[in-house]
C-alpha cells in the first residue's frame, strides 16, 4: 500500500527538481535593475550576476556605495544614484534605464532597497517613525515598480520583491513588519495582473541575516534613543527592568543572525534566471523550519511558541 504512494511522491519530487533546474538561455543579453546596492543582499547580488555575465544596472543610495561597487565589478556593470522615497529620483532612474535598455526592455527589476529603523515597541514610536520605514520599504518599492513596468512588459520579464519572513509573522514592533506585509499583498495582486503580459512576480522572504539593517549596535542605539525620549509616565509603566530585558532579548536574537547572504542571493538569482521561477522563496533554515510553519499555526499556539523563542 505504501510503496505506490512513496513512488508517486518520489516522481513528484523528481519532476519539481527537474522543472526548477531549467535555466534560461541568452542570459548575457538581459538587463537587470537592482535597488539598494550599497551593501547587503543588493550589493552581493549585483556582483554575483555580473560574474555570470548579465547586464547589471545597480542603483545605490550614495556615491560612495556606487564607486565601491564599480571597483569590485566588471565594466559591464553600470550604476546610478537612487532614493526610492523621492519620485523625481525614481523618474530619473527610469529614464536612465530606458536610455540603456529601451529596445529590448528591462528583463528584471529587483526591489531590494530597505531600512529597519526606527524600531522598538509600538508604543515607544511615533507616526513619523512608522512612515519613515513605510516610505522606503513599501511606497518606494511600489513607486519604482509602477514606473518600471512598461519596460518590464516589453521584455516579458520579471519583478522580484524582497519581503521578509516578518511579512508572514509580526516579529517585533514598528513599521518594518507592516511594510513587509504590504510588500506581500502588493506582490500577490501584481502577479495576477501581469499574467496576461507574460511577466512573472516572485517574493523573497529571508529569515534573520546579518546585514546593515540588522546591525545590532545601530538597532540598540535606536531603541535607547526612543526609550530616553518617552514621557516619564510611559517609562514608569514599563519600568527600567523591562527596558533592559527587552534590549537583552533583542541583542540575543541579533547575535543569531546568519552571515551566509548567498542563501538569499541564490534565491534571487533563481527567480531571475529560471525558466519556471517560484512564487515565493524562503531563505534560511529559520525561515523554512520555524517562522514559516509558525505563520500557519492557530493564533493561540503561535503566540505560545513565539513567547518561548523570544
Q: Which are the catalytic amino acids? A: 176
**Cα–Cα distances in Å, from 296 out to 18, 20, 168, 280, 293?**
28, 25, 9, 15, 5
Helix (H, G, I), strand (E, B) or coil at 202: strand
Question: Within 10 Å of residue 220's Cβ, how many Cβ atoms?
Answer: 15
For 74, the grid coordinates are: 566588471
Which one, of 261, 214, 259, lies nearest residue 45 by Cα?
261
Laid out side by side, the sheet with 31-34 consists of 78-81, 55-60, 31-34, 108-111, 158-162, 200-206, 280-283
Parallel, antiparallel, or unpaired for β 280-283 and 78-81?
A: unpaired
Which one, of 203, 287, 212, lies nearest residue 40 by Cα?
212
Q: What are phi and psi of 116, to 5 degrees?
A: -120, -5
Contact 131, 173 (CB under 8 A): no
CB within 8 A of 27, min separation 6: which ones?
Answer: 52, 53, 54, 273
Amino acid at each position: 500500500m505504501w510503496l505506490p504512494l512513496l513512488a508517486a511522491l518520489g516522481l513528484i519530487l523528481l519532476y519539481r527538481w527537474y522543472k526548477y533546474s531549467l535555466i534560461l538561455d541568452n542570459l548575457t543579453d538581459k538587463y537587470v535593475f537592482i535597488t539598494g546596492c550599497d551593501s547587503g543582499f543588493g550589493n552581493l547580488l549585483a556582483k554575483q550576476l555580473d560574474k555570470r555575465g548579465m547586464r547589471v544596472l545597480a542603483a545605490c543610495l550614495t556615491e560612495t556605495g556606487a564607486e565601491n561597487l564599480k571597483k569590485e565589478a566588471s565594466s559591464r556593470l553600470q550604476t546610478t544614484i537612487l532614493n526610492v522615497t523621492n519620485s523625481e529620483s525614481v523618474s530619473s532612474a527610469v529614464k536612465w534605464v530606458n536610455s540603456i535598455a529601451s529596445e529590448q526592455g528591462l528583463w528584471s527589476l529587483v526591489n531590494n532597497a530597505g531600512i529597519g529603523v526606527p524600531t522598538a515597541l509600538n508604543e515607544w514610536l511615533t507616526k513619523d517613525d512608522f512612515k519613515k520605514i513605510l516610505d522606503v520599504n513599501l511606497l518606494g518599492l511600489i513607486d519604482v515598480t509602477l514606473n518600471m513596468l512598461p519596460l518590464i512588459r516589453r521584455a516579458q520579464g520579471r519583478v522580484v520583491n524582497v519581503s521578509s519572513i516578518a511579512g508572514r509573522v509580526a516579529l517585533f514592533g514598528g513599521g518594518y513588519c507592516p511594510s513587509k506585509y504590504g510588500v506581500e499583498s502588493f506582490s500577490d495582486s501584481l502577479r495576477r495582473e501581469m499574467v496576461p503580459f507574460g511577466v512573472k512576480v516572485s517574493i523573497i522572504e529571508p529569515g534573520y541575516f546579518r546585514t546593515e539593517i540588522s546591525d545590532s549596535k545601530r538597532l540598540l542605539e535606536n531603541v535607547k534613543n526612543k526609550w530616553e525620549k518617552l514621557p516619564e509616565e510611559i517609562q514608569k509603566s514599563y519600568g527600567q527592568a523591562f527596558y533592559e530585558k527587552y534590549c537583552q532579548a533583542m541583542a540575543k536574537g541579533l547575535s543569531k543572525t546568519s552571515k551566509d547572504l548567498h542563501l538569499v542571493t541564490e534565491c534571487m538569482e533563481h527567480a531571475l534566471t529560471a525558466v519556471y521561477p517560484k512564487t515565493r522563496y524562503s531563505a534560511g533554515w529559520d525561515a523554512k523550519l520555524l517562522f514559516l510553519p509558525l505563520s500557519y499555526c492557530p493564533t493561540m499556539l503561535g503566540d505560545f511558541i513565539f513567547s518561548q523563542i523570544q
